[in-house]
Amino acid sequence: MPYLTTNDSVQLFYKDWGNVTGPPVFLSHGWPLNSDNWENQMFFLANQGYRAVAYDRRGHGRSDQPWFGNDVDTWAGDIAQIIEELDLKDTILIGHSTGGGDITRYVTNHGSERVKGMVLIDTITPYIIQTPETPNGVPISVFDSFRDAMLKDRSYFFQQVPSGPFFGYNRPGVKPSQGQIDSWWAQGMQAGFKATYDTTFSWETDFREEMKKIDFPVLVIHGDDDQVVPFKAGGAENLKYLKNATLKVYEGGPHGLPNVEIDGINNDILNFSKSLG
């Protein structure tokens, strides 16, 4: 299995699927998951001739679990090392939830020379905390309750999140997939406690000013029934700061779009890539 050793001696696991000479896509997962959560997108894109690369963020999945470095800047540096090590060029960056934050910070910290476009799916950008200036954001007390729940019983909390708001299984008429719930829980419990706890603070990051520096094409995808990152806090808000972005809305879509709208998301990414030439 491929691993990369970072500058601070952390072993990062990554997957490299498909045509090694094909157009590259780099996928960054949400919390508290790992690259396995992208398997449907990676399999689809690899079969379309793409080189699909995804990593397990430090502290998650099969990567090491260091005590320090569970923050957006460090993750951006980790991504930079992988992209440079594999010599990916004209890359399409794809991020879901927390993963949208670290690929954004990768661009603003390390440049866009290797980037062709970006896809943000239900991401924590541009700024999702509720303030007088951002009344549609998430109250900080919600994230405090997440942290309290993890300290009390992480395993139980990691059952409740996918059983309810993450996939929208708490909505009337929505049939839950026990397989999706079990997979989410297993990935979450494979991650380190410190990393999953620390990552919740990354959701308080304000990306608005740095997003103004991004001028390449960006596809923003958001479900309008996202109970984790509310549509009015994310979604079209990203377009206020990005110079060259389009929005795709999934009506009634939950936070876990890559898992519950597999065909739609796969084709959104493919069509976006083809539109870039």
pLDDT digits (tens, 9 = 90+) for 72-97: 999 999 999 999 999 999 999 999 99
Look up 177 and say whether it is catalytic. no
Q: Specify whether 145 is catalytic.
A: no
Model pLDDT for residues 46-57, shown as the tens digit of each residue: 999 999 999 999
Annotated active-site residue in 97, 102, 202, 273: 97
| CATH for the 3-275 domain, from 3.30.70.60, 3.40.50.1820, 1.10.10.10, 1.10.230.10 | 3.40.50.1820
**pLDDT value at residue 148:** 98
DSSP string over the chain: --EEE-TTS-EEEEEEEE-TTSPEEEEE--TT--GGGGHHHHHHHHHTT-EEEEE--TTSTTS---SS--SHHHHHHHHHHHHHHTT--SEEEEEETHHHHHHHHHHHHH-STTEEEEEEES-S-S--B--SS-TTSB-HHHHHHHHHHHHHHHHHHHHHHHHTTTTTTTSTTPPP-HHHHHHHHHHHHHS-HHHHHHHHHHTT---HHHHTT--S-EEEEEETT-SSS-TTTSGGGGGGT-SSEEEEEETT--S-HHHHSHHHHHHHHHHHHHHT-
Q: Which of 29, 255, 268, 273 is catalytic?
A: 255
The active-site residue out of 64, 122, 226, 268 is 226
Q: What's the whole-model pTM score?
A: 0.97
pLDDT of residue 1: 63
Domain map of the chain by residue range? 3-275
pLDDT range class, residue 12, cuts 50, 70, 90: very high
The question of whether 122 is a catalytic residue gets the answer no
